[in-house]
Structure 1
Amino acid sequence: MDYNNKKFMIYNGCDRGLCIRGCGRQDRQLNTYDWLADVPGNATSTNLVEVQFKNTRKGYYHNVNNLDLKKGDIVAVEANPGHDIGVVTLTGKLVELQIRKANLKSADDIKRIYRIAKPVDMDKYREAKSREHDTMIQSRQIAKNLNLQMKIGDVEYQGDGNKAIFYYIADERVDFRQLIKVLAETFHVRIEMKQIGARQEAGRIGGTGPCGRELCCATWMKNFVSVSTGAARYQDISLNPQKLAGMCAKLKCCLNYEVDNYIEASRKLPSKEVVLQTKDNDYYLVKSDILAGLVTYSTDKKVMANVEVITARRALEIIEMNKRGEKPETLLEDGATKKQERTVDLLENESLTRFDKNKKKRKPKNRNGKQAPKGRNKPAEAQAKKNTDTDKGGNTEKE
């Protein structure tokens, strides 16, 4: 191992490079890197611990027994009623920041950690989790029989199996009092109903987005921000509902990621209403490359005619010249005729089907399903060509 390259190495508790204590199990959703794990006294700065349960559900608890907890430990925590089983995902000072972000206003929301999970606890936990899928299928059928306009998207059993949380989606208000009675009689557990939205359902179920990566709501997003079509307009994206919608059939959350940069960059671009006047013609703005700072002008508003691509700085200079009553010779700087250099596209001359294998043509089959002998199923024109002989005058005679 090359110890000279310390930049990309991970050390176990050392004071150099990254610390392995800050890295958690990557099979947990909403994983948070603890960048304060190496700081001396961080673990004892607070007794608050973040514990994650199934999918995206997290809770915050007091470590009243002063257990030596680390990221990835499985613990038994206080629940109502009984206890629940979860995985420690964060300890130390960062937990206080997470609680502030979660907007926990009541101190009753922070319960206690009992102990590190025992083998008996894990056996009950696995037994309860094995019933979740069948319970969800049965509960959907029960809701359908009661004619309730709702969809049960997920079921989560408590670690001790005494309680089950049913996550459902409904467009309107649903009276599920009769449903709770039927579910309690069927599954013999305490029932809790939680209504979630389409975004929360996508985060709990998970999936792969059109970008090829796992959904953001299922990996790192902890709260949802409203997304409007204005974000697409600022980024000059076509308002196509099929392309703008995500797996949850709502607008993609990633539309908000770069909108601030686009708004800041668009302030340096000229207005679409301003017409650039030169000595030879008037030019109208037809297209803008916001991040690159390039604008495309045409001599016609509707048709791309005499197209010129210039920088936004040059366009603003011409606007100032027009305000003073001056007109430049051309749009290009200093009368240059050189076109703007295009970015190099490595796949410009490549075909999208270059890796596709050529399919072999299948031989035709006769009526019995067997492959016909060679020469029997040739086209009639080919057969006629063999049986004819053309003379120099163009007349054909049969042999």
Structure 2
Amino acid sequence: MIKVVGVRFKKAGKIYYFDPMDLKINQDEKVIVETARGMEFGMAVVLEKEVKDDEIVSPLKPILRIATEEDISQSAENKILAHEAYKLCEEKVKEHNLDMFLVDAEYTFDRNKLIFYFTAEGRVDFRDLVKDLAAVFRTRIELRQIGVRDEAKSIGGLGCCGKPLCCSTWLGEFQPVSIKMAKDQGLSLNPTKISGVCGRLFCCLKYEHETYEAVIEDMPEVSSIIQTPDGVGKVIDTNVLMEEVKVLMDNKDTVDIRKYKTHEIKVLKKPKRSQDTELKALEKELKKLED
């Protein structure tokens, strides 16, 4: 087990582990840490704890010191300089007529590197742009292409729920999301209706999916033949939230449809397993939209 402190460098950014050394660090305290790209300014969001060796990326970098007033002032100044650099880079992108969209810019804490984040449809030859920027800022320049989800996280916005995007407010890391999650939750399978501002499936489809999966395990599939307290019937619909099934009773004289809780029924015969062609078609359509 290794003692670590979790540090975040951006709002809703990924949490990285660092060696606290002999420092006594409080919650949300500003710190200066050593990273692969030099000294960085961050916030301690996870207090000292012990983790297994396989949960960290070796070698574990140290926390150099608790940030001073001078450090905090320099970090604020870096943000102002990065904003100015962003505007100048936008002009340079137009001058070079490059097919790319500039998203953000940031300096490392020690200003040894200036990083520009951008999105583009394909590969971009920005070698001449880098030369121009290096001549102006006289520091190492890095242009980093990011995906649409990272773009939404950086820019922010409002979701269809009317609240600020999860990714830009609190979601530290993106989780894989599939259209099967929407299907399990009984949502519309139209990709345009279950996709966020980034054009990808809603991150929130992931939040409750484990609960849905646990309930679905105990529910019969549609078209299953089941035994109910009132006789044998066929499942024609399911309600996962209510843990309830709608059953067409085996009554040849009249149409008799009833509802039962899952604990009240017993599956007698499962439907023949068939390929879910609709789901596969939707996954292909979603892939086209993402490409």
TM-score normalized with structure 2 length: 0.72
- The question of whether the paired residues in 2 share the 8 Å contact of 1:50 and 1:90 is answered with yes
**What pairs up with 1:363-374 in 2 under 5 angstroms?**
none
**What pairs up with 1:319-334 in 2 under 5 angstroms?**
320=268
Partner in structure 2 of residue 85 of structure 1:
41
1:309 pairs with one of 224, 241, 258 = 258
Secondary structure in structure 2 of the residue aligned to 1:130: helix
Q: 1:58 to 1:263 in 2, by over 3 A?
A: closer
- The question of whether the paired residues in 2 share the 8 Å contact of 1:283 and 1:297 is answered with yes
Instruction: State the Cα deviation string for residues 137-195 of structure 1 (Å, max 9, x = none).
Output: 33233224333333221112222333222222234233332222122123333212333
Distance 2:263 2:45 in 1: 53
Distance 1:286 1:57 in 2: 45
2:238 pairs with one of 277, 281, 288 = 288
Unmatched segments (≥5 aa) in structure 2: 270-291
- The question of whether the paired residues in 2 share the 8 Å contact of 1:142 and 1:179 is answered with yes
Distance 1:49 1:275 in 2: 55
**What pairs up with 1:47-126 in 2 under 5 angstroms?**
48-55=4-11, 56=13, 58-64=15-21, 66-78=22-34, 83-94=39-50, 96=51, 100-101=54-55, 104=57, 106-107=58-59, 110-126=60-76
Total equivalences in the alignment: 260
Secondary structure in structure 2 of the residue aligned to 1:93: strand
Note the C-alpha offset of 1:314. Answer: 8.9
- The question of whether the paired residues in 2 share the 8 Å contact of 1:49 and 1:62 is answered with yes
Note the C-alpha offset of 1:91. Answer: 3.1
- The question of whether the paired residues in 1 share the 8 Å contact of 2:225 and 2:268 is answered with no
Distance 1:297 1:61 in 2: 57
Partner in structure 2 of residue 244 of structure 1:
194
Note the C-alpha offset of 1:234. Answer: 1.6
Partner in structure 2 of residue 32 of structure 1:
none
Q: Percent identity?
A: 34
- The question of whether the paired residues in 2 share the 8 Å contact of 1:296 and 1:307 is answered with no
Secondary structure in structure 1 of the residue aligned to 2:46: strand
Note the C-alpha offset of 1:225. Answer: 2.7
Instruction: State the Cα deviation string for residues 371-393 of structure 1 (Å, max 9, x = none).
Output: xxxxxxxxxxxxxxxxxxxxxxx
- The question of whether the paired residues in 2 share the 8 Å contact of 1:155 and 1:167 is answered with yes
Distance 2:243 2:74 in 1: 61
Q: Between the two structures, name the one with larger relative contact order (CA 8 Å, sep ≥ 6).
A: 2
Secondary structure in structure 1 of the residue aligned to 2:198: coil
Letter in 2 for 1:61: F
Structure 1 stretch displaced more, 84-93 or 262-271: 262-271
Note the C-alpha offset of 1:251. Answer: 0.2
- The question of whether the paired residues in 2 share the 8 Å contact of 1:268 and 1:312 is answered with no
Q: 1:290 to 1:137 in 2, by over 3 A?
A: same
- The question of whether the paired residues in 2 share the 8 Å contact of 1:270 and 1:315 is answered with no
Matched, 1:261 2:218: no
Unmatched segments (≥5 aa) in structure 1: 1-44, 300-304, 322-399
Partner in structure 2 of residue 34 of structure 1:
none
Note the C-alpha offset of 1:257. Answer: 2.5
Distance 2:15 2:216 in 1: 40
Instruction: State the Cα deviation string for residues 271-295 of structure 1 (Å, max 9, x = none).
Output: 3334789xxxx97654321232323
Note the C-alpha offset of 1:59. Answer: 4.0
Partner in structure 2 of residue 223 of structure 1:
173
Partner in structure 2 of residue 158 of structure 1:
108
Q: Compare CA radii of gyration and give the structure with the larger one.
A: 1
**What pairs up with 1:136-215 in 2 under 5 angstroms?**
136-215=86-165
Deviating beyond 6 angstroms after TM superposition, the runs of 4 or more aligned structure 1 residues are: none
RMSD in angstroms over aligned alpha carbons? 3.5
Q: 1:57 to 1:162 in 2, by over 3 A?
A: farther
